[in-house]
């Protein structure tokens, strides 16, 4: 996998990465590449958001957790998606825990740099709004499957999606 | 100007006194003027359906006054209330941005003022005003947060009692009552609607309220609910 976004052969196929040349150069200068082994916790639910991680290679599991420590998988993220976007933009805490399912390569960008980058590149800001909308669609689907399946069946039982 | 539903309609966003307090509305002057030219101020009675889950997105609805129930539905007709939207929220946002069908049904539970913006106009507005784009991103992020919270509450709670206790605690913290010895809540929803918020039946909610009253954890005075034993309610919220 390429260390520079400029040489990446996958760029055109990925929603966030397919940036205009000027924006791409700037993104390349503010990102840092991280390689993490399988099982690495990239960020934890409740932790103050430090920035986003663009997934270049591998898969990441997003989970939510109850007070008692039970976990439920929200979804598996594929290459090209941006992790921690909503929490970073809000300046709040991560809503989910992200854990590498495979060995992963990430392009990490700190919150301050990301906000500055978005202010300077209106097209990317629109792109981000699109990504957030997609994330929200998936989250609503999950609410529907969890909430309405459980409504139909017994309420006291654990969902088979927990692990 | 008074509308048929007794609402004091704010015709212009430029003169709206609530603007500064609302996340989306607090726009720079140029963006606000542009928004003003594309929005339609509309008054709705209680019970009006703004949009239906599955419908192609026509545009966005900025809720200026009143409250709106947002729900999702199963194919067998079972309903789950995701949240009650308050003034300042933008409804139908992710569908309008992505062009996918509305994921939720939005129904007014009070007489409401809503500023409607057609999808094409809204997308053009976002392209021209990056500040507005940021505000939309913030709103979407908040909605994502709510959706994750909902998945957690519905999927990982052990019992309906736990979910009801969590909901009551959440409401009391939202209306600033949580620090009081005996927080009070104005119950705006029916038992049926509360059941739809926590994914259970109306009968279960009625039984749980009766049980909580019997155990002196809650007390009702008309439509006001008094939390008499906060510690016991909290314990129920964590242990079920």
* Complex confidence, ipTM: 0.77
Classify B13-155 by CATH class. mainly beta
pTM value is: 0.81
* Beta-carbon separation of A66 and B157 below 8 A: yes
Q: How many CB atoms lie within 10 A of CB B223?
A: 9
* A70 band by pLDDT with thresholds 50, 70 and 90: confident
Task: Give the span between the Cα atoms of B226 and B240, in whole angstroms.
Answer: 20
Question: What pLDDT shows up at residue A96?
Answer: 92
* Beta-carbon separation of B103 and A146 below 8 A: no
Per-residue pLDDT tens digits for A51-65:
999 999 999 999 988
Residue A125 has pLDDT above 60, yes or no: yes
Q: Which of A71, A133, A148 sits opposite B97 (nearest CB)?
A: A133
Question: What pLDDT shows up at residue B240?
Answer: 60
Q: Do B13-155 and B160-239 come out as alike in CATH topology?
A: no
Min Cα–Cα distance to chain A from B83, Å: 12
Classify B160-239 by CATH class. mainly alpha
**Average pLDDT of chain B to the nearest whole number:** 89
Domains of chain A: 5-152 (2.60.120.10)
Q: Which of A89, A141, A146 sits opposite B138 (nearest CB)?
A: A89
Question: What pLDDT shows up at residue A155?
Answer: 40
Average pLDDT over residues B144-156: 86
- Whether residue A83 contacts residue A104, with contact meaning beta carbons closer than 8 Å, is answered with no
* Beta-carbon separation of A133 and B140 below 8 A: yes
* A71 band by pLDDT with thresholds 50, 70 and 90: confident
Task: Give the span between the Cα atoms of B141 and A22, in whole angstroms.
Answer: 27
Question: How many angstroms from the chain centroid is the CA of residue B152?
Answer: 18
Task: Give the span between the Cα atoms of A17 and A4, in whole angstroms.
Answer: 12
Per-residue pLDDT tens digits for B25-80:
989 999 999 999 999 999 999 999 999 999 999 999 999 999 999 999 877 778 88
B176 phi, psi to nearest 5 deg: 75, 15
CB-defined contacts A:B, below 8 A? 154
Q: Which residue has the tokens 């008499």?
A: B228
Residue A153 has pLDDT above 60, yes or no: no
Task: Give the span between the Cα atoms of B232 and B164, in whole angstroms.
Answer: 13
Residue ranges of domains in chain B: 13-155, 160-239
B84 phi, psi to nearest 5 deg: -105, 115
């Amino acid at each position: 996998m390429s260390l520079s976004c400029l040489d990446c052969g996958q760029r055109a196929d990925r929603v966030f990465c397919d940036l205009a040349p000027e924006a791409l150069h700037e993104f390349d200068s503010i990102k840092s590449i991280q390689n993490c082994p399988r099982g690495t916790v990239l960020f934890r639910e409740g932790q103050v958001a430090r920035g986003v991680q663009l997934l270049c290679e591998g898969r990441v599991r997003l989970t939510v957790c109850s007070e008692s420590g039970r976990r439920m998988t929200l979804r598996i993220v594929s290459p090209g998606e941006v992790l921690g976007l909503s929490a970073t933009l809000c300046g709040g805490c991560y809503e989910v825990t992200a854990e590498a399912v495979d060995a992963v390569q990430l392009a990490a960008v700190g919150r301050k740099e990301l906000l500055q980058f978005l202010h300077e590149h209106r097209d990317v800001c629109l792109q981000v709004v699109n990504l957030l909308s997609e994330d929200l669609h998936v989250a609503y689907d999950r609410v529907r499957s969890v909430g309405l399946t459980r409504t139909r069946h017994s309420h006291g039982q654990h969902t088979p999606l927990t692990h | 100007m008074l509308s048929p539903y007794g609402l004091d309609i704010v015709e212009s966003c430029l003169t709206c006194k609530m603007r500064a307090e609302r996340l989306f509305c607090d726009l720079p002057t140029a963006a606000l003027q542009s928004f003003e030219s594309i929005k339609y101020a509309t008054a709705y009675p209680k019970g009006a359906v703004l949009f239906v889950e599955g419908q192609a997105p026509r545009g966005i609805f900025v809720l200026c006054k009143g409250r709106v129930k947002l729900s999702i539905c199963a194919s067998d007709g079972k309903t789950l209330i995701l949240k009650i939207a308050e003034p300042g929220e933008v409804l139908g946002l992710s569908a309008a941005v992505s062009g996918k069908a509305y994921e939720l049904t939005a129904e007014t539970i009070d007489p409401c003022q809503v500023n409607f913006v057609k999808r094409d106009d809204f997308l053009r507005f976002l392209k021209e005003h990056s500040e507005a784009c940021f505000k939309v991103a913030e709103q979407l992020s908040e909605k994502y947060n709510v959706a994750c919270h909902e998945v957690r509450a519905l999927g990982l709670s052990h019992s309906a009692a736990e979910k009801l206790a969590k909901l009551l605690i959440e409401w009391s913290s939202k209306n600033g009552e949580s620090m009081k010895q005996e927080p009070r809540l104005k119950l705006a929803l029916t038992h049926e609607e509360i059941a739809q918020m926590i994914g259970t039946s109306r009968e279960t909610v009625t039984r749980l309220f009766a049980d909580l009253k019997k155990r002196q954890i809650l007390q009702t005075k008309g439509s006001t609910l008094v939390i008499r034993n906060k510690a016991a309610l909290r314990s129920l919220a964590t242990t079920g």
